[in-house]
Structure 1
Amino acid sequence: MYNLATKILQLLLSLINGRMKVMNKEKISKNEPFIVVCTHKSWIDVVCLGVALYPTPIHFMAKKELFNKAFIKNLLTKLNAFPVDRSNPGPSVVKIPLQLLKKKKVVGIFPSGTRNSEEKALKNGAIHIASRASVPIIPAVYIGPHTIKDLLGRKSRAIILGDAIHVPKMGKDKESITETISEAISKAFEELESEKL
């Protein structure tokens, strides 16, 4: 269902808004797993990232509240999303992504884009998962409309991918490594957002 939904959404968005620009797609590996960490303000950036990386499917980490209704839960599961409790993270925050990465899948994590505790927790989570799975983190930035109104106004859309960030295995200096990588992700976001389209 993921592939079909991605193709349909790609067509609809193109008809409504025009073609999306995807920059630096050659930076991603077609055969090896990785974690893509993308800025996030609305559902549109999630959809656009999925379209940008197609045909590589992304397994999205999503807040558990979205899975409360059976129909939505079933739909999200078919679209490769899996639930996590962001306010009280448990073993699933690490267990499910590690299982997916071991199967050479791509995991998508979306910090909120604001400098708050949830964003920090999500970025740190991505860093620890990447370290344990020995996979790189690919920073990505979405630039474009965040509302239906702006989409209909044909405001241009773009996904910009950054260089892979390699995370070493955690040792006694775990906090220091986490802070360094977190800063690298933030810096990558800032640099990508400043690129001229």
Structure 2
Amino acid sequence: MYSFISGLLKLIIVKLSRSLEVQGKENIPQLHKYVVTCTHESYNEVIMLGMAIHPNQIHYMAKKELFNHKLFGKFLLSLNAFPVDRENPGPSTLKKPVKLIKENKTVGIFPTGQRKKYSEGAPLKRGAATIAMLSGAPILPAAYVGPSKIIGLITGKAIIKFGEPIETKNLPKEMKRNEKLEYITKTLESRTKTLQDELYAYVGKK
């Protein structure tokens, strides 16, 4: 289902509407074994991020409430999404994404944990850093600027910008686990903000 829908969306959004611009493509790892993160102001980022790295498939972490409806839940599962209990995360929460990455697949995470306006400056949660560190995978940071309404995917103009991947292996051995997580999370937070600032400056100049 993912291949069919993503292929259809790419035809409509990328080829016909030309409503997506991707910057920093050279930063996308050739191997699919990585965590990709993005700013999250609307649901459009979910679609555009997928288009930006197509044909590679993203396995998105999604709040478990979205799976409460049986048919819709099955539909989300067919699109590679998997449920996560954001209110009570535990060790089992990490098993699925770590397993996917070790199977050479890409996991998508919105590290603010919920939709937040750019101006609100939401701090990032540690989930992305934890999963990346446990799986030994890099984090590919991205930022989005563009329409927030679904119709804007066709009528508007969106930009996804990828930054340099953050390596999570080979950190100093003297650093404790929490120190490593804090370092990775702060680095991700800094690079994501820089990407977002650059995009807004870019849009302002156009």
After TM superposition, the score normalised by the length of structure 2 is 0.84
Equivalences for residues 150-161 of structure 1 within 5 A: 150-151=152-153, 154-161=155-162
**Residue deviations 1:48-90 (CA, integer Å, cap 9, x gap):** 0001110110000000000001111110001000000001112
For 1:120-141, what per-residue CA distance to the aligned partner results, in whole angstroms no more than 9, with x for missing partners? Answer: 43xx111111111111000011
Percent identity (aligned): 38
Cα distance between partner residues in 1 of 2:31 and 2:153: 33
The equivalent of 1:175 in structure 2 is 178
Cα deviation, residue 173, structure 1? 1.7
Question: Using a 3 Å threshold, how does the CA distance of structure 1 residues 139 and 70 change in structure 2: closer, same or farther?
Answer: same
**Equivalent-residue separation in structure 1 for 2:152 and 2:130 (angstroms):** 36
What amino acid sits opposite 1:164 in the alignment? Answer: P
Q: How far is the alpha carbon of 1:29 from its aligned partner?
A: 1.9
Tell me which residue corresponds to 1:109. 109
Q: Mapping of 1:36-115 within 5 angstroms?
A: 36-111=36-111, 112=114, 113=116
Shift of 1:91: 2.7
**Larger CA deviation: 180-189 vs 129-138:** 180-189
Amino acid at match of 2:140: I
One-letter amino acid matched to 1:107: V
CA offset digits 1:121-165 (Å, max 9, x no partner): 3xx11111111111100001111001136456x332111001010
1 CA distance for matches of 2:194 and 2:175? 30
User: Which residue in 1 is equivalent to 2:133?
Assistant: 131
Residue 12 of structure 1 deviates from its aligned partner by 3.2
1:143 counterpart = 2:145: yes
- Asked if 1:184 is matched to 2:187, the reply is yes
- Give the Cα separation in 2 of the matches to 1:92 and 1:41: 28
Contact 2:19 2:156 (C-alpha < 8 Å) held by counterparts: no
- Matched residues in 1 for 2:174 and 2:88: separation? 25
Partner of 2:167: 166
Question: Once the two structures are superposed, what CA deviation does each residue of 1:27-61 show, in whole Å capped at 9, x if it has no partner?
Answer: 11232400001111221110000011101100000
Task: State the match for 1:30 in structure 2.
Answer: 30
2:180 partner amino acid: I
Quick one: distance in 2 between partners of 1:115 and 1:101?
Answer: 29
**Does the CA contact (< 8 Å) of 1:136 and 1:164 recur in 2?**
yes
Q: CA RMSD in A?
A: 2.2
